[in-house]
Amino acid sequence: MTQASIGVVGAGAWGTALAQSLASDGRTVKLWALEDGLADAINTSHRNLPYLPSAELAPTIAATGDLSEMAACDILLLVTPAQHMGPTLEKLGSYPRDLVLCSKGIEASTGRMMHHAAHDIAPESDLAVLSGPTFAHEVADGLPCAVTLACGGGEDQWDRISPAIARHNFRPYYSDDVVGAEVGGAVKNVLAIACGVVDGLELGQNARNALITRGFAEMLRFGVAFGGKPETLNGLCGLGDLVLTCSSTSSRNFSLGKALGEGMSAEEALADKRTVAEGAHTAPVLRQIARDKGVQMPIVEAVNHLLEGRGAREVVAELLSRPLKAEGHEA
- Out of 30, 91, 104, 188, pick the active-site residue: 188
Spatial separation of the C-alpha atoms in residues 83 and 309, rounded to whole Å = 22
Task: Please indicate whether residue 104 is annotated as part of the active site.
Answer: no
Strand ranges across the sheet with 98-101: 61-64, 29-32, 6-9, 75-78, 98-101, 126-131, 145-151, 170-175
- Cα separation values, 97 from 122, 127, 154, Å: 9, 8, 13
Spatial separation of the C-alpha atoms in residues 256 and 322, rounded to whole Å = 25
Spatial separation of the C-alpha atoms in residues 197 and 176, rounded to whole Å = 34
The answer to whether 11 and 38 have CB atoms below 8 angstroms apart is yes
Coil vs helix vs strand at 211? helix
Spatial separation of the C-alpha atoms in residues 108 and 103, rounded to whole Å = 13
- Burial code of 47-80, b = ≥16 C-beta within 10 A, e = fewer? ebebbbeebebbebbbbbeebeebeebbbbbbbb
- Cα separation values, 212 from 91, 162, 193, 237, 301, Å: 38, 31, 11, 15, 15
- Cα separation values, 90 from 11, 86, 97, Å: 18, 6, 16
Spatial separation of the C-alpha atoms in residues 232 and 188, rounded to whole Å = 14
The answer to whether 93 and 71 have CB atoms below 8 angstroms apart is yes
Q: How many other CB atoms sit within 10 Å of the CB of residue 91? A: 10
Q: Which region holds residue 210: left if phi is over 0, alpha if psi is between -120 and 50, else beta? A: alpha
Task: Give catalytic residue positions.
Answer: 188
